[in-house]
Amino acid sequence: MHSGTFKLSGNIVDVINRNIFPGTIVVNKGKIEHVLYDTKVPDQYILPGLIDAHIHIESSMLIPSEFARLASLHGTVATVSDPHEIANVLGVEGVKFMIENGKKVPFKFFFGAPSCVPATEFETSGTSIGADTIGEMLDWDDIYYLSEMMNFPGVLYDDPEVKAKLQAAFKRKKPVDGHAPGLRGKDARKYAEAGITTDHECFTLEEAREKAMLGMKILIREGSAARNFDALIPLLKEMPHMIMFCSDDKHPDELIQGHINTFIVRAIKNDYDIFDVISACTLNPVKHYRLPVGLLQPGDDADMIVVDSLDNMKVMETYIKGIKVAENGNTRMDAVVEKPVNRFNARKIEPADIEVSDKESKINIIEVVDDQIVTKHMIARPLVDNNLIVSDIKRDILKIIVLNRYTQSLPAIGFVHGFNLKHGAIASTVAHDSHNIIAVGTNDEAICKAVNHLIEVQGGVVAFNGSENFILPLPVAGLMSLENGYEVAQKYKMLDKIARELGAKLSSPFMTLSFLALLVIPELKLSDKGLFNGNAFEFLSLYNYEA
């Protein structure tokens, strides 16, 4: 795979000068040498390669090299990648794994230094990364920014460790990504004034507009769990220079179908300006993060895509540094062979370990919201059997547990509404952000069967149908597979199908499950240490005596 001298002709979309014209691009040794006006060109369009402005590659369940093989089929040439997930499992070693594996394919991964490892003090992660280490990582050539500052209470209350991490980025003139769902008013102002430059967690137009007016770039997210495109896209007309597109978390079955190219199609169908739309996934991230990604200008890297039309955005060819990496839905990148890296020391559990005594009170329940990672706080009388609180299938109030996978201990227990399982259980070692083992089920035996199978294989995603476990093993940090992306997607779709056969009605049950341990997102979540109130940022008893 190499890049020599060649020409590419079509209708050239110039986002810098906001112009579309028939022309020919001359490429020499990976660089654009000339852009020439030419009346006789094929009926196709040439665009700058697309950029996902914020994604956790780990959530695709693919290692970076395999992610690149799929994403480039859809015109993606680069990602702004937060290795926060693997960092919470393996620390700096995990970040290095991502960087080195990504270098083995002709794709542009721009990694950040994960700012919140662990994400909070209210959960157990595999390691911790302090301000001194953050400074060292920010000096690496392969680290482009400080990853999302999820500890927004630490920013608001001037936590010394948080301030030290921010200063490390400022000192090196590297941008700081934000993460502050629902933050408004004076708190949002202080967060922005602390030097936070982006936010991908807005879920209302009013919140996004307010943060944009404070100077924060708004990353419109449409992932596998959180889908905010429809709510936020009107801001593109109001403040186009403040908008970028991102997926944040993208499961493999959806990645096969499309990536950032789908944002363009949706926006254009709704009559948004073509140059504003394409700039949101090319020019704007290049300028904000100072990325060495080409924009079809002489002297740029030849990072470009050929599509059939701007309405369909069917990607026919993808080039990165002049190398054709994908053509007509087929990758031209070679697969990369890696060895597993992991950290796992969980104990198997039995039904007695997850029994919950009745205390003749109502209980606090996590209520999931489909297509969102925020949750609600529900209070209800539990179903009691033989003085024990059990899963209530009729009212869809099911037991959920989180088990520490780094140190042998007993699980934390809660209850959740919204999964609608009628039998069996589902479980995963993808449990943001510390990636302990999380499971939800209709009875204690089913939960234990699913969890113990994950422990046996040292990580993965599993569905137990009452008699048999079905699993997608994830030997890389309990987060990623070493298999071909299509095989991973097929196994994941099979698990999703089984979850639906168990009764699940959520659009993405496993992705939703993975976020129920994410304490920095309101309202109620569950860590390995207990039920957590994300609004008050403190633990909450399972029992609610006041209701």
Q: How far is CA 544 from CA 55, 516, 536, in A?
A: 37, 20, 16
Domain 49-292 indexed as CATH 3.40.50.150: no
Q: Which residues contact 322 (CB under 8 A, 6 or more apart)?
A: 3, 4, 6, 27, 29, 30, 31, 301, 302
With a cut of 80, say whether residue 11 has pLDDT above it.
yes
Give pLDDT, residue 373: 83
Tens digit of each residue's pLDDT (9 = 90 or more) over 403-430 = 999 999 999 999 999 999 999 999 999 9
Burial class (CB in 10 A: 0-12, 13-18, 19+), 274: middle
**CA 56 to CA 432: how far, in whole Å?**
11
Per-residue pLDDT band at 353 (split at 50, 70, 90): very high
| Tokens 């994403």 belong to residue | 71
Give pLDDT, residue 547: 61
Q: What are 358's two structure tokens?
A: 């009745």
Give pLDDT, residue 1: 55
Give pLDDT, residue 520: 84
- Calculate helix-pair angle for 205-213, 185-193, nearest 10 degrees: 40
Task: Please name which of 69, 30, 53 lies closest in space to residue 301, comparing C-alpha atoms.
Answer: 30
**CA 256 to CA 73: how far, in whole Å?**
8
Residue type (1 letter), 127: T
The residue extents of the domains of the chain are 49-292, 351-544
Tens digit of each residue's pLDDT (9 = 90 or more) over 270-327 = 999 999 999 999 999 999 999 999 999 999 999 999 999 999 999 999 999 999 999 9
Per-residue pLDDT band at 330 (split at 50, 70, 90): very high
Tens digit of each residue's pLDDT (9 = 90 or more) over 483-537 = 999 999 999 999 999 999 999 999 889 989 999 999 988 899 999 999 999 888 8
15: which DSSP letter? T
**CA 63 to CA 480: how far, in whole Å?**
6
Give pLDDT, residue 513: 95
Give pLDDT, residue 233: 97
103: which DSSP letter? T
Per-residue pLDDT band at 389 (split at 50, 70, 90): very high
224: which DSSP letter? S
Residue range 107-134: mean pLDDT, rounded:
95
Q: What are 486's two structure tokens?
A: 């299509």
**CA 20 to CA 45: how far, in whole Å?**
9
- Residue 441 in contact with residue 354, Cβ under 8 Å? no
- Residue 147 in contact with residue 183, Cβ under 8 Å? no
Q: Which residues does residue 524 pair with via DSSP β-bridges, in sequence order?
A: 533
Per-residue pLDDT band at 371 (split at 50, 70, 90): confident
- Residue 70 in contact with residue 254, Cβ under 8 Å? no
Give pLDDT, residue 521: 85
Q: For Cα atoms 136, 137, 138, give the angle at the middle one, nearest 5 degrees.
A: 95
Residue range 140-162: mean pLDDT, rounded:
94
**CA 334 to CA 326: how far, in whole Å?**
11
pTM above 0.85, yes or no: yes
Q: What is the 3-state secondary structure (H, E, C) of 343-410?
A: CCCCCCCCHHHHCCECCCCEEEEEEECCCCCCEEEEEECCEEECCEEECECCCCEEEEEEECCCCCCC
277: which DSSP letter? H
**CA 161 to CA 143: how far, in whole Å?**
20
Element (H, E) at 437: strand 437-441
Task: Please name which of 381, 365, 356, 344 lies closest in space to residue 477, comparing C-alpha atoms.
Answer: 344
What's the chain's Rg over C-alpha atoms?
Answer: 23
**CA 401 to CA 413: how far, in whole Å?**
5
With a cut of 70, say whether residue 136 has pLDDT above it.
yes
- The mean pLDDT of the chain is 95
Tens digit of each residue's pLDDT (9 = 90 or more) over 443-484 = 999 999 999 999 999 999 999 999 999 999 999 999 999 999
Alpha carbon 47 to its chain's center:
25
Q: Which residue has the higher pLDDT, 456 or 546?
A: 456
Neighbours of 299 (CB within 10 A): 8
**CA 215 to CA 228: how far, in whole Å?**
20
Percent above pLDDT 70 for the chain: 99
Give pLDDT, residue 224: 72
